[in-house]
Structure 1
């Protein structure tokens, strides 16, 4: 008898399948070789975060003795076992792919050597590099009765060293030490090419240290050197209610993160049994052991690939984002936005337009106030500099900085202090809620009245990720949107009674209910025999109640197309429940990041932009917004974008009722790759 499928796909198992799709891009021989190496790096970075947050949380539940099943039918221990098994399989495939990719790169003249394969000239160069650059930074840390086991930092690379004394040949005692591979130095060390050829040749830093490890232990003989890496629980546990200063509380938690409970131990394949026993005992980690057959932590490949000169034939063709044509021939962005709404599609259109708008606002004498949210910003943010200039010019500048953006906490703290120093009003949001909405409001004096200019985005105000992620940005001076924007900032920065939103849906107050109403309206249209259609594009879908609403709509006859890049807990294609629902995921050159929703509404079509995925955390534990697009021409542009995604038959995978994904296959159809469609912006904006 066949086991009946659960109504839902488990969130964490779905995430594993997402990372498998990333790995498939590294395996896809249609992708340029250096881009395949980048995807290998992303697989590692993804797994690091997954282990340090999601798996760490499951282990916390196991330690607490929780045995209750989640809504997908898994107990913590049952889920943990499946996750580790699947993650282990992915790592095995990842390193098999690594060997394949670098075997092909070697034929192209890009080589990472083993030390034993170097010639005399190369060995001399490596020796000089070690003694002049590496040796001064190394610190051997012995472990004995007087020196306890040192702190092992999370996600840093170390060498476990077993030694014998040189003095007494009869002394059989084995000594143990660790050496951190300094992250301040590049993992890849260039060596002179053989016979002055044009090949790019390298060795790995840990191999260099291992080769000369004896120089760190005079009077001792290292007989086993084994790389290892520890991942700790990185989730912050904040007492926001009792914290007098949220910034100081987060700084304390960041320091505590260094001592987080060990979650995963990675060791080199073939590690000496005594070294492994010592690490397990000292780090107090019995399970979740990964034996790595190759260089540990392949996330270094991203920097490695980006540092390589030339070899453009092994990369994607360079994309130069175009400056939005609406602003291309004007020095007054306010005039353009006053006359019409403007939609931007990143990375095909340049994020510089957002920077320019804030900078123009900073210097415009008629601008009275600038308010915006910052969740993740780049290392050298032009926006932050522009906000500081605006404050110094005497304008009222209010910035809602989210200090709890995971793994960007320290950078955001630095920006918050810089903005405060410049005279900006910096707000850290509401207790218990992350501010994830992407919104910018400029208040300008015009002909004796005030006009509000608003930018709403689906992605962060980050000029780096705007070249790597697909996102949508909307500029508007629509008075209803402007009124809602002012009310939103008032709620976040001050005391404000519940507001009746005219255009927005805002989490956690009413966004979820607004989605319910929109989905139910399509359901009622279907029941009445009218055409009903929903298209929703997002990063993740995991909220049980929203999924149930979509099931209800499907059973009523609503056609539902979902474009979900990552986690999807909805199980499509189940007869009588979700057979009207199709789910695809697109993993390609750019990270699909836009959140866009379309509702047919009996022919009176509505389209929304949003900062929120359909996850419980976004709908109930964050400040998020959904904003309608009022301009009919812009709605058509967004519908065209959604159709481009739905027509992808090269990089789109379809979620099956089994919970697994299969490449979309459309027989007798010309290959269509939505991110690479020729003239995409022309097609999207309807230019001739």
Structure 2
């Protein structure tokens, strides 16, 4: 190894990319989809809303955590070479640049929408008929739910909720010459439409809207009689939304989480967004209260562009500005018969969402709940939709006398309240509900059905890379496996025994489990590829995941690179590995695909000297997945099914339209590809029968 290469290996900042800065780059790639003129206009608006919502979560969790470290006096560098204070300064600059770019995109989109007849109108530009209609709407709908809150010596600053829009109102007394200023705040009702539709001619395709905050601002005098409003400016606060739960000391985990959810409303302020040109007195009042000078942003446009997702989805009559709807195909193997168990005794079935329907999973659980031969159903639930039919099927199974065990993860961030409600409903129906292991999130997606057949019990298993959520299954690309493989079935039983009882770790027949064995097995699989390469045998790793940030895995990949292993990484979001560096990672490529659907599947391929092994997993290669969560990595054993998974990987590798390549500098670049255009998601949608050739 040369001196230059040794220097590269010894310098953390040279060998690794920072996780949080890499996340900023990911959100920038999402923003590029909002800016791409080849995307339908309303789809671009949805992408802009996603960018804003993504940033909200990043600020409330990741940035909040860095601020906590600074307050605690933590000064140690992370493995990418950053101290918390140094990273926070860098993030503040990068977030500021990103926000400015978002609002430039908003203005461009607004102009494009205007050309299509979708117009955001300023209050002063309303016609007489529109103004009359808006005044009626304000008087009848908005005014009754408004609550102005004064701030003075007798009335302390009221609680400001995270991520809600407020008006900061600076007042002076009417008919008095003194310069005394008064201050009040007003929450914009979140249960009313953000964009109010304006009257239009019945034969007109033109649709006009006005923001609710503009309507309230225009009528602010109705709330402060005897005072004159000198300035009315929007602001929005982001609080620390992470939960700190003492699981060891909690007698009832459900109650402990409910308590922490109430605390979240009073989380430490992290970011303050204010309208550009805000009155200095109002800004002083807000910064004094929230102490957020370091993360204060002046916004040149409407606060919270996240509204665009719902707005763009709810517009009627503009289907030509959206992607054509996709109708998921019901898996052909299950379409031939209504008996899932009969199919699975003959073969494994792989389902590729959203191109194939999640209804198959719902029907699978429904059949099990109604089948007299089914003795037990065991299932993990991490994120479930608000009206999930799975809950009803599980409840019905329990009420029918079946043994139903549901592992509900109460700590699934921002889904805690929904999961608590589901847990209570399942318990009332007679299900055994457990909340996983102390200190670990149960992130594995697995269902076990035990069925009496003749004189023996048979196990049927479903394992997925995504959540048991029929709504996200229409928007995320995931794979799921239905199998009656004996080894996988035995492992599934053991896994549930470990989660619900006191069963100790043992050697698994097929699956790999975190935190007990996944990290070790990943090292073994990667190192085995190095041994194959050293011996001149075929050696390759293809890994598709959401994020790659674990230092040990990255170091193992660097070692495999040095041994000559070809490594193709398909990482949608965060990637701390620095590819393409001579002497470090010249055999490693990293690409990210951002397109219509959220790339969410975790698939891992190891060439193994010409005898490939393929795994599907719930786990990304992140420290939290490998050490602080219950995760699964399951081999795809059936040859035909394995070939289908490999083809999914190959489709991603061929994508030259929506893939971006990570450069050694940490930036992403679109390929300058002279080959025929290939868009992996569109190719998958174009195949009416997506089942691919076997290996």
TM tier, smaller: over 0.9
| Distance in 2 separating the partners of 1:130 and 1:409 | 35
Match of 2:676 among 670, 673, 681: 670
| Distance in 1 separating the partners of 2:397 and 2:693 | 36
Checking the alignment, whether the CA contact within 8 Å between 1:58 and 1:76 is kept in structure 2 is yes
> Which residue of structure 2 lines up, in the alignment, with residue 395 of structure 1?
402
Checking the alignment, whether the CA contact within 8 Å between 2:640 and 2:693 is kept in structure 1 is no
In the superposition, relative to structure 1, how do residues 196 and 178 fare at CA in structure 2: closer, same or farther (>3 Å)? farther
Pairwise CA distance, 1:680: 3.5
> Which residue of structure 1 lines up, in the alignment, with residue 171 of structure 2?
163
Pairwise CA distance, 1:140: 0.3
Pairwise CA distance, 1:218: 1.3
SS at match of 1:322: coil
| Distance in 2 separating the partners of 1:622 and 1:664 | 36
> Which residue of structure 1 lines up, in the alignment, with residue 249 of structure 2?
242
| Distance in 2 separating the partners of 1:190 and 1:486 | 55
Checking the alignment, whether the CA contact within 8 Å between 1:641 and 1:684 is kept in structure 2 is no
SS at match of 1:437: coil
Match of 2:138 among 106, 115, 130: 130
> Which residue of structure 1 lines up, in the alignment, with residue 658 of structure 2?
651
Match of 1:506 among 490, 505, 513: 513
Bigger CA drift: 335-344 or 278-287? 278-287
SS at match of 2:15: coil
Structure 1, unmatched stretches of 5+, are none
| Distance in 2 separating the partners of 1:465 and 1:149 | 39
Is 2:58 the counterpart of 1:31?
A: no
- Superposed counterparts of 1:266-305, under 5 Å: 266-305=273-312
SS at match of 1:339: coil
SS at match of 1:676: helix
Checking the alignment, whether the CA contact within 8 Å between 2:537 and 2:610 is kept in structure 1 is no
SS at match of 1:570: coil
> Which residue of structure 2 lines up, in the alignment, with residue 569 of structure 1?
576
> Which residue of structure 2 lines up, in the alignment, with residue 616 of structure 1?
623
| Distance in 2 separating the partners of 1:215 and 1:252 | 38
- Superposed counterparts of 1:186-585, under 5 Å: 186-193=193-200, 197-585=204-592
Is 2:84 the counterpart of 1:76?
A: yes
Runs of 4+ in structure 1 over 4 Å off: 2-5
Pairwise CA distance, 1:439: 0.2
| Distance in 1 separating the partners of 2:419 and 2:99 | 32
Bigger CA drift: 186-195 or 422-431? 186-195
Pairwise CA distance, 1:597: 0.5
Structure 2, unmatched stretches of 5+, are none
Checking the alignment, whether the CA contact within 8 Å between 2:643 and 2:693 is kept in structure 1 is no
> Which residue of structure 2 lines up, in the alignment, with residue 89 of structure 1?
97
| Distance in 2 separating the partners of 1:684 and 1:596 | 17
Checking the alignment, whether the CA contact within 8 Å between 1:48 and 1:231 is kept in structure 2 is yes
| Distance in 2 separating the partners of 1:621 and 1:281 | 38
Pairwise CA distance, 1:102: 1.2
Q: Alpha-carbon deviations, 1:618-660, whole Å to 9, x = none? A: 0000000100011001111111110100110000000011011
Bigger CA drift: 554-563 or 278-287? 278-287
Pairwise CA distance, 1:195: 8.4
Pairwise CA distance, 1:172: 2.1
Q: Alpha-carbon deviations, 1:527-574, whole Å to 9, x = none? A: 101110110000000000000000000110000000000000000001
Is 2:183 the counterpart of 1:176?
A: yes
| Distance in 1 separating the partners of 2:93 and 2:365 | 49
Pairwise CA distance, 1:197: 2.0
| Distance in 2 separating the partners of 1:518 and 1:555 | 16
| Distance in 2 separating the partners of 1:680 and 1:639 | 16
Q: Alpha-carbon deviations, 1:69-122, whole Å to 9, x = none? A: 100000111100111111111110110011101101111111111111111011
- Give the aligned length: 684
Pairwise CA distance, 1:265: 0.2
| Distance in 1 separating the partners of 2:688 and 2:609 | 29
| Distance in 2 separating the partners of 1:206 and 1:6 | 47
**RMSD over aligned Cα, in angstroms?**
1.2
SS at match of 2:28: helix
Checking the alignment, whether the CA contact within 8 Å between 1:640 and 1:684 is kept in structure 2 is no
SS at match of 2:350: strand
SS at match of 1:16: helix
Pairwise CA distance, 1:684: 4.3
SS at match of 1:84: helix
> Which residue of structure 1 lines up, in the alignment, with residue 603 of structure 2?
596
> Which residue of structure 2 lines up, in the alignment, with residue 53 of structure 1?
61
Q: Alpha-carbon deviations, 1:337-386, whole Å to 9, x = none? A: 11110000000000000000000000000000000000000010011111
SS at match of 2:306: helix
| Distance in 1 separating the partners of 2:619 and 2:567 | 19
SS at match of 1:685: coil
In the superposition, relative to structure 1, how do residues 89 and 578 fare at CA in structure 2: closer, same or farther (>3 Å)? same
> Which residue of structure 2 lines up, in the alignment, with residue 587 of structure 1?
594
* TM-score normalised per structure 1: 0.98
Checking the alignment, whether the CA contact within 8 Å between 1:595 and 1:611 is kept in structure 2 is yes
| Distance in 2 separating the partners of 1:321 and 1:101 | 30
In the superposition, relative to structure 1, how do residues 195 and 431 fare at CA in structure 2: closer, same or farther (>3 Å)? closer
| Distance in 1 separating the partners of 2:641 and 2:393 | 28
Checking the alignment, whether the CA contact within 8 Å between 1:263 and 1:288 is kept in structure 2 is yes
Pairwise CA distance, 1:284: 2.0
SS at match of 1:639: helix
SS at match of 1:147: coil
* TM-score normalised per structure 2: 0.97
Q: Alpha-carbon deviations, 1:651-687, whole Å to 9, x = none? A: 00000110110012222x0111101116335354349
In the superposition, relative to structure 1, how do residues 527 and 686 fare at CA in structure 2: closer, same or farther (>3 Å)? closer
SS at match of 1:376: coil
SS at match of 1:470: strand
Pairwise CA distance, 1:196: 5.6
